[in-house]
């Protein structure tokens, strides 16, 4: 039993079994009894509640507050209840009273101040209460077989704290309202098949976005669900927090991932990133998402073994959530505006973290001007899948960086030089080889440029291979011998070689995500701080 | 029990526009829009030559997007709409 407290209880009006509104405070002493039908301890308590009503109901308002509409009717019938049963199946009063447990029994004075509160069932609490109320009312203590009752029984969880329901109640209490259209399915409809048929999935099943799950997702953000956080191409559709949360639920994400998805969406929906082009291109590009900062560990993101593969929920679902919202809200659907000739499996999701702790270099986000403790998402418009570069024998940073450079030369086409951004993911074993010689990222980039530099004559389209650097783009109609001997490195600028460390401890293999059209004519990588973090 | 899910799509209803009336002949100003894909200009040049040969009543005007990777800028679309009766766009390579 909790001690008497003089706190004011929330006022309410609930309907009784006859449909009449019953107000609290009532102007008299009142006994509020919160119950639900499937709770055995409530079952033990019901006869006492009814006995109290019969004995002292003329001077004390005994109000039974039931949490389930059907269950309330059953309780009334089962216990021959004459005390008024009030319907709190919406659970707003249970929530306002901050109930954890039923039965909860509260004695209140005529002004609605709490005098006493019991939780669960304790025989002596009830016996004391009955005696006191009978004395105050000048009536006899009801004759009850106290010895047949258990001494103590714990209560059951209040329905208002059940998962999903609690989030709805909290959202309603904050005055938040979700505005997305509610789609009602028939009893016999299979919700998974329905979502396939409506073209709402990426080809794999999605988690049905029920209002409860979406509310749960929204618990991760302080933003109003109606806030527009981005305009998504190609349809230039406004994306609200709620629409993003719906698609994040479908992707299988947990609420704590939502701030990362918000930041990723805002990063791609910029003119610099140009998600329209990344999705629409006949090349198989996709937003490649890299996460930095403490949030990697908080979310349990994979940055080690299989980091670029599968099997980890945040990696799999953050990227998938971004793709689903671009599809369902933005309108970028395969075969429609998303028009890749071949596509690549990374179009489902490409998201991983940098293993900052295992890297000899500055992390990506610090290199881009953020603090180490900032949580940052970086998006790259790159090929939707990595290719691996093996070098199991180099023992120096110079030799290894040379191998990585030769591996990078195949990106797009070996004869395409003056290329744009790529993302080089260096594995821990390769990072160790580079660290032993104390090489910086700048030295690795310089070596890649050095080893890939080729004379123009080897790069122009010819009968051996019609692709390459077009002379027209160089402004050279009739190049001189000197001009043809001029060496061109693979990348237009060394900083287009983005470098991070990730991957398993064993294996002398690194990987590269090849680029698409880079810079103002195509897509530039964008880093964005994750504003809300768990 | 009824199952309820929330709509994950953009719920806006697109504006419906009717097509402009077809006159049955090509006469007036024809915009040739090059989206800046490699060799798109070659296609546009050939088309323009044919149009001028076969349809003396047309005036061909060339336009070019800054990059094929992004939608045409609003200003370019406005100019094309103001200055043209027809548009031919070379979409891709």
Q: Please tell me if residue B7 touches chain A, with a CB cutoff of 8 Å.
A: yes
**Is pLDDT at A5 greater than 70 in this prediction?**
no
Q: Residue A264 belongs to what domain range?
A: 191-453+489-529
Identity of the residue in A185, A200, A330 whose CB atom sits nearest the CB atom of B2: A185
Identity of the residue in A181, A232, A247 whose CB atom sits nearest the CB atom of B11: A181
Whether residue A271 is contained in a domain is answered as: yes
Domain ranges of chain B: 28-90
Tell me the average pLDDT across A414-423. 94
Q: Which of B4, B5, B10, B73 to mutate to test the interface with A (most CBs of A within 10 A)?
A: B5
Looking at chain A, the whole-number percentage of residues with pLDDT higher than 90 is 82
Helix/strand/coil for A166: helix
Question: What pLDDT does B25 receive?
Answer: 85
Do A136 and A200 sit in the same domain of this protein?
no
**Is pLDDT at B21 greater than 90 in this prediction?**
no
Q: Please tell me if residue A231 touches chain B, with a CB cutoff of 8 Å.
A: no
Do A258 and A198 sit in the same domain of this protein?
yes
Question: What pLDDT does A291 receive?
Answer: 98
Do A135 and A219 sit in the same domain of this protein?
no
Q: A133 and A60 in contact (C-beta within 8 Å)?
A: yes
Q: Please tell me if residue B67 touches chain A, with a CB cutoff of 8 Å.
A: yes
Range from A139-148, A372-381, A423-432 carrying the lowest mean pLDDT = A139-148
Whether residue A458 is contained in a domain is answered as: no
Do A294 and A367 sit in the same domain of this protein?
yes
Distance from CA of A472 to the nearest CA of B (A): 11
Q: A512 and A386 in contact (C-beta within 8 Å)?
A: yes
**Is pLDDT at A413 greater than 50 in this prediction?**
yes
Identity of the residue in A187, A209, A324 whose CB atom sits nearest the CB atom of B6: A209
Question: What pLDDT does A534 receive?
Answer: 57
The pLDDT-based confidence of A1 (bands split at 50, 70, 90) is very low
Each residue of A310-358: pLDDT tens digit?
Answer: 999 999 999 999 999 999 999 999 988 889 999 999 999 999 999 999 9
Whether residue A470 is contained in a domain is answered as: no
The domain boundary residue, chosen from A141, A162, A183: A162
How many Å separate Cα A269 from the centre of its chain? 19
Do A140 and A206 sit in the same domain of this protein?
no
Do A206 and A337 sit in the same domain of this protein?
yes
Q: Please tell me if residue A155 touches chain B, with a CB cutoff of 8 Å.
A: no
Q: Please tell me if residue B91 touches chain A, with a CB cutoff of 8 Å.
A: no
The pLDDT-based confidence of B65 (bands split at 50, 70, 90) is very high
Tell me the average pLDDT across A134-158. 89
Whether residue A23 is contained in a domain is answered as: yes
Do A212 and A342 sit in the same domain of this protein?
yes
Whether residue A179 is contained in a domain is answered as: no
Question: What pLDDT does A533 receive?
Answer: 62
ipTM beyond cut 0.90:
no
Distance from CA of B75 to the nearest CA of A (A): 16
CATH of the domain at A153: 3.40.30.10
Distance from CA of A103 to the nearest CA of B (A): 27
Question: What pLDDT does A532 receive?
Answer: 76
**Is pLDDT at A275 greater than 50 in this prediction?**
yes
Closest residue in chain B to residue A213, using alpha carbons only: B5
Enumerate the residues of chain A whose CB falls inside 8 A of the CB of residue B11.
180-181
Closest residue in chain A to residue B3, using alpha carbons only: A185
Enumerate the residues of chain A whose CB falls inside 8 A of the CB of residue B12.
237
Question: B7 and A523 in contact by Cβ < 8 A?
Answer: no
The mean predicted confidence, pLDDT, of chain A is: 93
Q: Which residue has the higher pLDDT, A168 or B76?
A: B76
Question: What pLDDT does B61 receive?
Answer: 93
pTM over 0.80: no
Question: A183 and B4 in contact by Cβ < 8 A?
Answer: yes
Return residues 446-485 of A near B (CB < 8 Å). 470
How many Å separate Cα A22 from the centre of its chain? 42
Do A130 and A235 sit in the same domain of this protein?
no
Do A296 and A221 sit in the same domain of this protein?
yes
Closest residue in chain B to residue A470, using alpha carbons only: B38
- Count of CB atoms situated within 10 Å of the CB of A279: 28
The pLDDT-based confidence of A175 (bands split at 50, 70, 90) is low
Q: Please tell me if residue A184 touches chain B, with a CB cutoff of 8 Å.
A: yes
Closest CA to B11 of A179, A481, A6: A179
Number of domains, chain A = 2
d(CA A352, CA A254): 16
Tell me the average pLDDT across B67-93. 88
The mean predicted confidence, pLDDT, of chain B is: 88
Q: Please tell me if residue B52 touches chain A, with a CB cutoff of 8 Å.
A: no
Question: What pLDDT does A2 receive?
Answer: 41
The pLDDT-based confidence of A259 (bands split at 50, 70, 90) is very high
Each residue of A12-55: pLDDT tens digit?
Answer: 999 998 889 999 999 999 999 999 999 999 999 999 999 999 99
Return residues 302-361 of A near B (CB < 8 Å). 324-325, 328-331
Distance from CA of A460 to the nearest CA of B (A): 15
Do A144 and A225 sit in the same domain of this protein?
no
- Count of CB atoms situated within 10 Å of the CB of A108: 24
Range from A201-205, A309-313, B18-22 carrying the lowest mean pLDDT = B18-22
CA atoms within 13 A on the CB side of A462: 7
Give residues with Cβ within 8 angstroms of A347, minimum separation 6: A284, A286, A323, A340, A384
Question: A211 and B67 in contact by Cβ < 8 A?
Answer: no
Do A261 and A320 sit in the same domain of this protein?
yes
Instruction: Please report the DSSP string for A58-123 in residue order.
Output: TTEEEEEEES-HHHHHHHHHHTT--S-EEE-TT-HHHHHTT--EESEEEEE-TTSBEEEEEESEEH
Helix/strand/coil for A136: helix
Tell me the average pLDDT across B30-37. 91
The domain boundary residue, chosen from A162, A177, A203: A162
Tell me the average pLDDT across A144-167. 88
Do A110 and A242 sit in the same domain of this protein?
no
Looking at chain A, the whole-number percentage of residues with pLDDT higher than 70 is 98
Range from A75-84, A187-196, B50-59 carrying the lowest mean pLDDT = B50-59
Distance from CA of B31 to the nearest CA of A (A): 23
Question: What pLDDT does A6 receive?
Answer: 57
Q: A476 and A470 in contact (C-beta within 8 Å)?
A: no
Whether residue A121 is contained in a domain is answered as: yes
């Amino acid at each position: 039993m909790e001690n008497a407290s003089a706190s004011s209880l929330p006022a309410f009006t609930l309907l009784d079994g006859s449909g009449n509104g019953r107000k609290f405070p009532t102007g008299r002493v009142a006994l509020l009894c919160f119950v639900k039908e499937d709770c055995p301890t409530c079952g033990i308590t019901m006869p006492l509640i009814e006995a109290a009503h019969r004995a002292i109901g003329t001077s004390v308002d005994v109000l039974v507050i039931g949490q389930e509409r059907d269950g309330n009717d059953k309780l009334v019938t089962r216990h021959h209840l004459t005390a008024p049963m009030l319907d709190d199946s919406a659970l707003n009063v249970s929530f306002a009273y901050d109930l954890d447990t039923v039965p909860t029994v509260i004695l209140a004075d005529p002004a609605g101040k709490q005098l006493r509160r019991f939780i669960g069932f304790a025989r002596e609490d009830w016996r004391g209460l009955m005696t006191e109320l009978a004395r105050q009312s000048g009536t006899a203590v009801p004759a009850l077989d106290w010895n047949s009752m258990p001494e103590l029984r714990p209560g059951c969880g209040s329905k208002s704290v059940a998962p999903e329901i609690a989030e709805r109640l909290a959202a309603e209490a904050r005055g938040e309202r979700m505005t997305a259209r509610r789609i009602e399915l028939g009893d016999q409809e299979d919700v998974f098949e329905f979502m396939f048929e409506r073209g709402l999935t990426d080809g794999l099943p999605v988690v049905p976005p029920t209002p409860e799950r979406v509310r749960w997702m929204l618990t991760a953000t302080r933003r109003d669900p109606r806030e527009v956080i981005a305009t998504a191409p190609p349809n230039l559709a406004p994306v609200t927090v709620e629409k993003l949360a719906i698609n994040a639920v479908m992707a299988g994400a947990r609420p704590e991932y939502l701030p990362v998805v918000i930041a990723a969406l805002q990063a791609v929906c910029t003119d610099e990133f140009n998600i329209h082009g990344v999705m629409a291109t006949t090349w198989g590009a996709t937003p490649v998402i890299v996460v930095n900062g403490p949030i990697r560990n908080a979310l349990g993101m994979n940055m080690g073994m299989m980091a670029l593969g599968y099997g980890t929920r945040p990696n799999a679902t953050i990227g998938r959530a971004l793709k689903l919202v671009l599809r369902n809200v933005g309108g970028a659907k395969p075969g429609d505006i998303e028009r890749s000739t071949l596509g690549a499996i990374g179009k489902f999701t490409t998201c991983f973290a940098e293993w900052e702790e295992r890297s000899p270099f500055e992390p990506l986000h610090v290199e881009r001007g953020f603090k180490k403790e900032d949580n940052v998402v970086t998006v790259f418009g790159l090929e939707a899948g990595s290719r691996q570069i093996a070098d199991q024998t180099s023992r120096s940073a110079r030799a290894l960086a040379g191998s990585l450079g030769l591996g990078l030369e195949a990106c797009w086409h070996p004869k395409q030089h003056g290329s744009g951004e790529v993302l080089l993911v260096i594995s821990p074993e390769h990072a160790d080889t580079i660290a032993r010689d104390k090489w910086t990222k700048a030295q690795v980039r310089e070596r890649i440029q050095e080893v890939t530099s080729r004379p123009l004559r080897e790069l122009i389209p010819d009968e051996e291979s019609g692709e390459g650097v077009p002379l027209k783009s160089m402004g050279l109609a009739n190049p001189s011998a000197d001009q043809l001997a001029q060496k061109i490195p693979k990348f237009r600028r060394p900083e287009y070689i983005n470098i991070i460390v990730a991957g398993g401890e064993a294996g002398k293999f690194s990987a590269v995500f090849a680029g698409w059209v880079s810079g103002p004519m195509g897509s530039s990588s964008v880093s964005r701080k994750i504003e809300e973090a768990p | 029990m009824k199952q309820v899910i929330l709509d994950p799509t953009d719920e806006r209803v697109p504006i419906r526009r009717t097509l402009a009336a077809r006159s049955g002949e090509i006469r007036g100003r024809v915009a040739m829009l090059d989206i800046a894909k490699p060799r798109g200009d070659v296609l546009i040049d050939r088309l323009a030559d044919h149009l001028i040969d076969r349809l003396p009543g047309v005036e061909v005007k060339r336009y070019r997007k800054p990059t094929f990777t992004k939608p045409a800028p609003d200003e370019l679309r406005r100019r094309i709409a103001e200055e043209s009766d027809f548009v031919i766009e070379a979409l891709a390579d």
